[in-house]
Structure 1
Amino acid sequence: MLRYYDCIAINKTSSIMFKYILSVFILLILLFSVIIYNAINSFELVPHPEKYEIDYYHPETVIFEPDTSISGISLFSNVSYQDFLKGKKQIPVDGGNDNFVLIFTNIGETQLLKLYEHPEQQNHQFTEFEITKPSTARVESFLSANIDEFISETGIKMDMTIGQVKSIKGEPKIVNVDESEIQFTYILNDSIDKGFLKRHDIPIYYSEFNFTEGYLTKYKFGTRYQ
């Protein structure tokens, strides 16, 4: 039979073991709670790509640089256009306002490059370029470009985030918001950069970026005549 003191020793040992197990259990619960908390806070049900600017974007260090070409085609050089066309038949499309438009698709037919020409310009010196995504129109009717994706000389391309565009172009002059659509507009006029306009003999320069749910779906830039 166990003596009285032996029973007391056993009870003390059991109490110590119970406290130890309880402490370990509590620590495991706390550790598990921290892991769950971090996982929840790092997971976004709705992505916010504009947050990407937080890490590396400093607007005071970004100077707006206008694009003048897409994938080697220049707004101000008909030679670059002829090299790009490579003997393809021209298919002018009515662009309204006395413009006509040449439309190219990329290799995967997931993007369109639209070249707008104005009567005041020389043959195939364009006034506006636009990169966008195809609508319901048949892309077979457009010219095919041997290019995976259309990219401007400053690196602008489809599906970039708001933060990525701002890191290249800086803060827009005008911001329009419509439900899930956001449009950035950048403008160069005589009061901002007269040298650029005079060098290219244009009255004004603009660029527009259209974002859907934070991702670039349309990019248009160039000049407009009265």
Structure 2
Amino acid sequence: MPFTVNGVLCTLLPLLLWRTEEVVEACSCAPVHPQQAFCNADVVIRAKVVGEREVDSGNDIYGNPIKRIQYEVKQIKMFKGPPQNIETVYTAPTSAVCGVTLDAIGKEEYLISGKAGSSGSMHVTLCDYIMLWDSLSSTQKKSLSQRYQMGCDCKIVRCPFLPCEISAPEECLWTDLMMEKQVHGRQANHYACVKRADGSCSWYRGVAPPKKEFLDAEDP
């Protein structure tokens, strides 16, 4: 059955394990542009994982305990979220049910987006945008502070194959999947969909925030 996580359409696809004759569920998420992931998320932070443990989070309808992975994190910077620092990140125990695996031993820093929890916590799934910090482009890193937020009133329309087109002036057409056959293409790495003064939206490339001349332009 389809479900929505932070505005992203996900589906649980049944897989049959022939040896055990048990049915498990696999996680599948529609790809999104980094800006759309930022706008969909309650919380977006840069952080390092400093601890990991499995915890109980109540029982299911049959009385069985529900397990979660609790990551202790050291927040380096918050780009979007509550006023207090995020100290814990919760996720499902396996990728089959959309759980996220983070490195709690190394020194890797992550960009983590997800849903806000209580008391300095957040919840994440494979449908959320979680990337190694060093894998982000310089444009993406700069856009997290201001530029992505400027385009949250815009809509990024995914183009998986031709023909595809926008249907409203506040939309930007995302063609990385069709043109480059990958999610992390040129538009994802170097562009943001920004609202202009006339209410329309257009792709903007550059590390700095858009200049007034771009915002006031009549044509995309």
TM-score, L = length of structure 1: 0.22
- Greater relative contact order: 1 or 2 (C-alpha under 8 angstroms, separation 6 or more)? 1
Which is helix-richer, 1 or 2? Answer: 1
Q: Answer 1 or 2: which has greater strand percent.
A: 2
